[in-house]
Amino acid sequence: MPSRRTGWSRAPSRLAELTARVGASCLDLTESNPTRAGLEAPDLVALLGDGRGARYAPEPLGHPMAREAVAGYYAARGVTIDPSRVVITASTSEAYAWLFKLLADPGDTVLVPSPSYPLLPYLADLESVRLERYPLLREERWRIDLAAVERALVATRARAVTVVHPGNPTGAFTRRDEAEALAALARRHDAALVVDEVFADYPAGPTLPADRLPTFAGTTGGLTFIMSGLSKVALLPQLKLGWIVVGGEDEALVAEALARLEIVADSYLSVGTPVQLALPDLLAAVPRMQARARRRLAQNLEALDAALFAAGPESPLRRVPFDGGFYALVEVPRTRSDDEWLERTLEAGVLVHPGYAYDMPGPGVVVMSLLTDEASFAEGLARAVPLWARG
């Protein structure tokens, strides 16, 4: 019989039931798959045709060229990373799985932020790890509730603290002082930091505010694992390549973590050779790919702000401030439940996500992807914003 940990409820949620009704005519304002949003790059996929990929010579932690290319990606951001501290994975999701295996035994606890990305509970279940959520304080622009983190570390003896930097869907980059305090807390309580930076290249403005940390890579402290990958960095989720950078001042501890990760990686050897060989060229194309995405994100954000402004000074709608990433949150009146809003918005032919799908504290927030193609986004706003503004 199947295991208990795979015994998830498969009864369709209200959200799934409602979205199942979405027809082809519906405008999907939650699209975050770049290959469905007009941002595909066939020329980059063609780079996988290198004849050297015909030979299989597995390297558990990744092909040396790929590991060096990742170090080069950080060097372009002013951060020096030793390629020997880079681990190549098939995706960031796989990186989470490998790190949970490395850091936690079945039944151990890992701390995760709330609100956050809805895949994390599944990734934890698959490793038989318990999740304990710590709050991000919305009224303080999603500041990490450090006191809650410490309480949870003490109460659960958590093995790791996960940080999504910037948050999904909050778009908040960790402040420098928060990052330092969190690193100190984790170290004091013998927990590792696991940092998901898939959106770190997408600050919303031209530069990140000075008090925000651009990346945890290169910071000093205890054992820290920074994860990212091609799916957001190069808008190539279908190539299936992610990475982990292992940080930490304690060389012996880092070496031990890498040696164990090598055995985890060797047990799967999941990353294809062609994509690893293409990685230097794929990462060289990152500025071009990201420039396209940034134009899209900025244009949709401008359209959103213009639509909210046009709703008039009495409008109850507010965009929740954010620092970056692909998502925008809009506060809608609490006169209706999240599901009622979802349903009414769908009746107008527009799909958005309710905040509860991301464990948002309380109702009254809708989530949209700014990566949606501009025409659908503008038309969707033209239909949905007047509806929301009426309450």
Ligand X SMILES: Cc1ncc(COP(=O)(O)O)c(C=O)c1O
Residues binding ligand X (CB under 6 A): 91-93, 117, 164, 168, 196, 198, 229, 231, 237, 242
For residue 218, CA distances in Å to 14, 38, 213 come to 43, 34, 11
Backbone angles phi, psi at 166, to 5 degrees: -75, 160
For residue 33, CA distances in Å to 42, 95, 235, 239 come to 15, 20, 8, 13
Q: At its nearest, how many Å lie between ligand X and the CB of residue 314?
A: 35
Q: At its nearest, how many Å lie between ligand X and the CB of residue 173?
A: 13
Neighbour-count burial of 139, counting CB atoms closer than 10 A to its CB (0-12 exposed, 13-18 middle, 19+ buried): exposed
Q: At its nearest, how many Å lie between ligand X and the CB of residue 310?
A: 30
Token output for 198 = 């898939």
Q: At its nearest, how many Å lie between ligand X and the CB of residue 227?
A: 7
Question: Which lies closer to ligand X via its Cβ, residue 39 or residue 387?
Answer: 39
Question: Which lies closer to ligand X via its Cβ, residue 219 or residue 369?
Answer: 369
- Residue 358 is classified by DSSP as G
Cα(167)–Cα(147) distance, rounded to whole angstroms? 19
Question: Which lies closer to ligand X via its Cβ, residue 59 or residue 94?
Answer: 94
Question: Which lies closer to ligand X via its Cβ, residue 83 or residue 167?
Answer: 167
Q: At its nearest, how many Å lie between ligand X and the CB of residue 306?
A: 27
Question: Which lies closer to ligand X via its Cβ, residue 169 or residue 189?
Answer: 169
- Three-class SS of residue 374? helix
Cα(149)–Cα(284) distance, rounded to whole angstroms? 38
Question: Which lies closer to ligand X via its Cβ, residue 161 or residue 308?
Answer: 161
Q: At its nearest, how many Å lie between ligand X and the CB of residue 119?
A: 7
Backbone angles phi, psi at 311, to 5 degrees: -70, -10
Cα(327)–Cα(11) distance, rounded to whole angstroms? 27
Question: Which lies closer to ligand X via its Cβ, residue 88 or residue 366?
Answer: 88
Laid out side by side, the sheet with 353-354 consists of: 318-319, 327-331, 365-369, 353-354
Cα(61)–Cα(67) distance, rounded to whole angstroms? 8
For residue 215, CA distances in Å to 174, 255, 322 come to 9, 22, 17
Q: At its nearest, how many Å lie between ligand X and the CB of residue 351?
A: 17
Question: Which lies closer to ligand X via its Cβ, residue 198 or residue 342?
Answer: 198
